[in-house]
Structure 1
Amino acid sequence: MSHPLLNAFLMMLWFFLWIMWLFLLFKVVTDLFRDHGMSGWWKALWLVGLVVLPYLGVLVYLVVRGRSMGEREQQAARDKEQQFQDYVRKAAAEAPPADSQAGQLAKLAELKRSGDLSQEEFEQAKARLLV
């Protein structure tokens, strides 16, 4: 007796597992090249193992280096956060000076936003500034 719905479900299940394994394989290869403490020969050996015996290679890699894999992932996240914070500090330091035209426009916009200037007063001050 044929069950086409069951066959379709099993095919989708196998496809889903295969996609999950591909993601895991790419994660392992990325981690392999992210590790700066490992020599190039060890990396090449692991890569050969992943290519020759992909399922077993991924499993062995996760068992042997799984803990340090998580630590490297956390370190990469901390490094990215630090780079972002440095960029924000640099961009904030490059804000226009208060006596420049852009700084004065920013000050006017802040006064309007806080309600100290009406829309009409803001437009008049902006027109005087831009002349």
Structure 2
Amino acid sequence: MVIPVTLLWISALFHIIVNSSLPGWSRALWVIVIFLLPILGALVYLVVNGNHAVVTADGQTSSQAAPGRSADLPAQLQHLADLHRAGDLSDAEFATAKAALID
């Protein structure tokens, strides 16, 4: 029981730290909540923010990461279309990623 709870807690903290789409004060507040209420705070954070893609330092979301460069253009476009259809990419993200592939 201790290991799964610890992994949940660490996962929530890691997600807070790497999620640059959260403003600094929001991150600080979530860290305080997770330290004060470890299990409940981590669960609430992951339920509220867990479905959002993590924004990396270069400004791309984890769901925008380009497919492998060794794949041909039609396969990359199909991969993007699948992500868009599944709801992992918004219309704007899909258009941006598609334009980047084509250019």
Q: TM-score normalized by structure 2?
A: 0.52
Matched, 1:63 2:43: no
Higher RCO (C-alpha 8 Å, min separation 6): 2
Identity of matched residues, %: 28
Of 75, 78, 95, which aligns to 2:62?
Answer: 75
Give the C-alpha shift of residue 46 in structure 1: 0.3
**In the alignment, is the contact (CA less than 8 A) between 2:13 and 2:31 conserved in 1?**
yes
Q: Could you tell me how far apart the structure 2 residues matched to 1:39 and 1:45 are?
A: 10
**In the alignment, is the contact (CA less than 8 A) between 2:18 and 2:54 conserved in 1?**
yes
Give the C-alpha shift of residue 44 in structure 1: 0.6
Aligned to 1:110: none
Q: Trace 1:2-17 onto structure 2 (pairs within 5 A).
A: 17=1
Give the C-alpha shift of residue 72 in structure 1: 2.0
Q: What amino acid maps onto 1:75 in structure 2?
A: S
Q: Trace 1:89-108 onto structure 2 (pairs within 5 A).
A: none
Q: Kindly report the root-mean-square deviation, in angstroms, between the aligned alpha carbons of the 2 structures.
A: 2.8
How many pairs align? 65
**In the alignment, is the contact (CA less than 8 A) between 2:12 and 2:42 conserved in 1?**
yes
Name the larger-Rg structure: 1
Q: Could you tell me how far apart the structure 2 residues matched to 1:76 and 1:51 are?
A: 29
Give the C-alpha shift of residue 76 in structure 1: 7.9
Structure 1 counterpart SS, 2:50: helix
Runs of 4 or more above 4 Å deviation: none
Of 39, 42, 49, which aligns to 2:26?
Answer: 42
Structure 2 counterpart SS, 1:57: helix
Of 2, 24, 39, which aligns to 2:8?
Answer: 24
Gaps of 5+ in 2: 56-60, 70-103
Give the C-alpha shift of residue 62 in structure 1: 1.7
Distance 1:72 1:55, change over 3 A: same
